[in-house]
Amino acid sequence: MTILVSRLVQALVVALLVGAATFAMMRSLPGDAAWRIAAGRYGYDNVNAAAAEAVRAELGLDGPWLGAFLQWMGDLFRLDFGVSLVSGQPVIAEIGHQLGASLWLALAAVGLSLVIGPPLGILAGLRPGSLFDRTLLVVSTALKAVPQFLMALILILVLSVQLGWLPAAGYGQPRHFILPAFALALGLAAVNARIARDAMAGVVAMPFYDFAQWKGLSRAQVLWRHGLRNVSVPLLTYLGLQFVLLVEGVVVIESIVGWPGIGHALVHAVFARDVPMVQGTALMLGLGFVMVNALIDLLAARIDPRGAR
Amino acid sequence: MTAISLPRALPAGRTLGAAILAIVAVFALLGPVFVPGDPFAQSLMKSLAGPEPAAPFGYDHLGRSLWHRLAHALRLSPLIALAAVATAGAAGLVLGTLAALRGGWTERALVVLADALLALPGLLLVLIVLAIMPGTATGFWAGLSLVLWVEFFRLTRATARATLASPAAQAGRLLGFGWPYIFRTHLWPEIAPLMLTAAAFGTATAIMGIAALGFVSVGMRAPTPELGLMMVELLPYWREAPMALLTPVLATFALLLGLTLLAGGHRT
């Protein structure tokens, strides 16, 4: 129960931070926000003073400070994000549209990383210090040093430009998933494998693991009953923390491969100074993190009831 | 226990990492001294031309010397990253120690703030700060500092809590030593090695962030030589001049690999 309360407080402060940050962004934009928004709406060639004034009047861009802030936060907590300054559509509708695309990409990446990383890590952890263990360490260290955008760049150059196997960008067909999902998954898998390896090596060294083998269980049974369950808890907890890394990767990768998701929308919104969109997407990402971690807390407590705090 | 956790860090990994970083630093600082030149001077006659004595790495699509652009890029992002890490490290150290010393509401408020910042993707915060702050370099510095102090804060607070409760620190208090003395003799020796690892990771994170935002064209602006920006500029010419694109790619990889190795793989 205390877990949920602390997560609730975290969610509340996240909302406050996002509200304050986006308000500051709205207020202190360099240049005239009205001009920028008008340019975003009508195109840079069609902006004139009249259009900018119309936008200024419509959005109430000048006025007293504190009242505007309170109204801003009030709207935020009533989950009224307003309309996108650029497209004129309600922010909620836009986000709902984009969230799906991002969610599928993120799930594909996490799934892929879980297929690649932990099995290799567990294999290495069963024989710590072996050649395989050392090789995995070298490979995962090198992979960790490759940022996700660089991984995407390398995959695009090798798989699409040179070999022509996959489309470099695009959305809609299953094969469009492969490249961005791999670009995200390889970095995650490098860390997953290390976590699984350390946890597994720790479990193998425990007396209960030796005992289980000694009492006559087969290696597979010991691994299944005593190994995997103990490895899954640190892995799961780490997965929650990786969520932020994943979201960051999604923001960048989506922009590179033209994925119509929330990260792509966020970069565009920041670029066009579409503050309501920035607020909506930022809030969605922050609250998503808190929610995922609350679920993982609960799940971890279910798998390993000893550590219930 | 030593036997099972043997290959935690690469054997001699830290030395290797420091060596890689030293090579990169020597190139960045002395490269333009050995081969004088201008990273901004264009010559369209030499667009994508190969290496020559005046430009050992060849030319980019606008005929600018890649040797000089790379050297300047390798000064810019590490400089911003180090400035951000220094600011974040100082803030994290002060606030973490304060939280551990004071406890109560000070600690609770700081922890809640740090947890909330942890929930927001770092690049998102940097993007918002970039939109608020005038000047891209200062924006990166402020945004990255805001993101990175959380890690230093958490490390310092956790270590300081444990250390302050230790018999040695308690005895020091009872003997009447002041806080500066306690900090110097008891806290700092515990925290310093952790800070070095966190600083190496933080620098790597910052450099990655600057390059990633440069690559999606929302970071540094052209014609500033910046690693991510150079990659996205040279990407369309991959077929004509693959080496031109590989130059910033390999430099970024070397820089980040050096930092990762230096950190020693002891995260949290």
Q: Report how far apart, in Å, the C-alpha atoms of B96 and of each of A196, A226, B83, B157, B197 are.
A: 30, 38, 19, 4, 17
Give the pLDDT band of residue B2 (cuts 50, 70, 90). Answer: very low
Give the closest residue to B146 by CA, choosing from B116, B174, B126: B126
| C-alpha distances in Å from residue A307, one per residue of A221, A298, A302, A304 | 24, 11, 10, 6
For residues A45 and A115, membership in a common domain is answered with no
Handedness of CA A88, A92, A93, A95 (dihedral sign): positive
- What distance separates the 2 farthest-apart alpha carbons in chain A? 85
Examine the pLDDT at B219 and tell me if it is beyond 70: yes
What chain A residue is nearest to B123 in terms of C-alpha separation? A248
Q: Kindly list the residues from chain A whose CB atom is less than 8 angstroms away from the CB atom of residue B4.
A: 128, 201-202, 204-205
> Is A228 in the same domain as A136?
yes
Q: Which stretch of A74-88, B59-73, B178-192 has the lowest confidence by average pLDDT? A: A74-88
Cis-peptide into B78, omega within 30 deg: no
User: Are the CB atoms for A3 and A268 separated by under 8 Å?
Assistant: no
Q: Is A25 on the interface with B (CB under 8 A)?
A: yes
CA dihedral of A193, A165, A254, A190, whole degrees rounded to 10: 10
Give, in degrees to the nearest 5, the angle at Cα A254 between B252 and A19: 100
Structure tokens at B133: 């702050």
3-state helix, strand, coil in chain B (%, to 5): 75, 0, 25
CATH number of the domain at A139, please.
1.10.3720.10
- Which pLDDT score is estimated for B1? 34
For residues A265-292, give the mean pLDDT: 82
pLDDT value at B6 more than 60: no
Among candidates A138, A153, A244 on the partner chain, residue whose Cβ is nearest the Cβ of B231 = A153
Taking residues A172-197, report their average pLDDT.
83
Say which CATH superfamily domain B59-264 falls into.
Answer: MetI-like (1.10.3720.10)
> At B249, which amino acid appears?
V
Closest CB to A285 among B124, B132, B213: B124
Judgement on whether residues A16 and A136 belong to the same structural domain of the protein: no
- Residue B94, chain A, CB below 8 Å: the answer is no
Q: In this complex, is the C-beta atom of B123 within 8 Å of any C-beta atom belonging to chain A? A: yes
Q: What's the distance, CA B228 to chain centroid?
A: 15
pLDDT at residue A65, rounded to an integer: 66
Q: pLDDT (tens digit, 9 = 90+) per residue, B172-181?
A: 888 888 888 8
**A232/A120 same-domain check:** yes
Residue B265 has pLDDT above 70, yes or no: no
Of residues A176 and B214, more confidence is placed in B214
Span A218-237, average pLDDT: 79
Given a cut of 80, whether residue A66 has pLDDT beyond it is no
- Determine contact: B113 vs chain A, CB below 8 A: yes
At residue B268, the pLDDT reads: 35
Q: How many CB atoms lie within 10 A of CB B211?
A: 28
The pLDDT, as a whole number, for residue B85 is 94
Residue % of chain B over a pLDDT of 70 = 94
pLDDT at B9: 53
Q: Which residues contact A127 (CB under 8 A, 6 or more apart)?
A: A133
Pair (A71, A114) in one structural domain: no
Give the SS3 label for residue A299.
helix
Which member of B212, B253, B260 has the closest CB to residue A252?
A: B212
**Mean of pLDDT values over B161-182:** 85
Pair (A31, A143) in one structural domain:
no
| Three-state DSSP state, B229 | helix
The yes/no answer to whether this complex scores an ipTM above 0.95 is no
Q: Which residues of A touch B116 (CB under 8 A)?
A: 10, 13-14, 16-17, 286
A209 near A203, Cβ under 8 Å?
A: yes
State which of A42, A67, A91 marks the end of a domain: A91
Judge: A30–B134 Cβ closer than 8 Å, yes or no: yes
Q: Same domain, yes or no, for A101 and A204?
A: yes
The reply to whether A16 touches chain B by the CB within 8 Å rule is yes
* CB-CB under 8 Å, B124 with A251: yes
**pTM score, two decimals?**
0.81
- The DSSP secondary-structure symbol of A46 reads G
Same domain, yes or no, for A23 and A110?
no
A133-167 per-position pLDDT tens digit: 888 888 888 888 888 888 888 888 888 777 777 77
Domain boundary assignment for chain B: 59-264
Which domain does A15 fall in, by range?
2-91
The rounded distance, in Å, linking the Cα atoms of B218 and B213 is 5
**Which chain B residues are within 8 Å of A198, Cβ to Cβ?**
5, 8
Q: Are residues A239 and A152 in the same domain?
A: yes
Give me the pLDDT at residue A1, please: 65
Q: Which of A10, A256, A270 sits opposite B127 (nearest CB)?
A: A270
| Residue A309: pLDDT band with limits 50, 70, 90 | very low
- Cβ contact A39:A47 at 8 Å: yes
- Same domain, residue pair A99 and A87: no
Q: Cα–Cα distance between B155 and B186 in angstroms, integer? A: 15
Nearest to B131 among A142, A270, A286 (CB): A270
Answer yes or no: are the C-beta atoms of A40 and A274 closer than 8 Å. yes
Q: pLDDT at residue A71 above 80?
A: no
CB contact (8 A) between residue B116 and residue A144: no
Statement: residue B87 has pLDDT above 90:
yes
Q: Is the pLDDT of residue A222 over 80?
A: no
- Predicted pLDDT at A61: 63
Compare B149 and A170 and report the one with higher pLDDT.
B149
Classify each residue of A266-303 as buried b or exposed e, where b means 16 or more C-beta atoms within 10 Å of its C-beta.
bbbbbebbbbbbbbbbbbbbbbbbbebbbebbebbeee
Query: What's the pLDDT score for residue B5?
Result: 43
pLDDT at A253 over 60: yes
Which chain A positions have a beta carbon within 8 Å of B3's beta carbon? Answer: 128-129
Q: Dihedral sign, CA of A233, A300, B162, B180?
A: positive
Which of A42, A74, A91 is the C-terminal boundary of a domain?
Answer: A91
The CA distances from residue A297 to A215, A241, A304, in Å, are: 33, 11, 11
Over range B8-27, report the average pLDDT.
Answer: 81
Distance between CA A141 and CA A190 in Å, rounded? Answer: 7
Mean pLDDT across A154-182: 77
* More confident call, A173 vs B230: B230
Number of domains in chain A: 2
Which residues lie below 8 Å from residue B133, measured CB to CB, with a gap of 6+? B139, B142, B143
| Mean pLDDT, chain B, integer | 84
- CA gap B107, B103 in Å, rounded: 5
Q: Do A81 and A175 fall into the same domain? A: no
Calculate Rg over the CA atoms of chain B. Answer: 22
Same-domain check for residues A172 and A159: yes
Range in A12-26, A155-169, A194-208, B96-110 with the lowest mean pLDDT? A155-169
Structural domain ending residue among the three candidates A74, A91, A108: A91
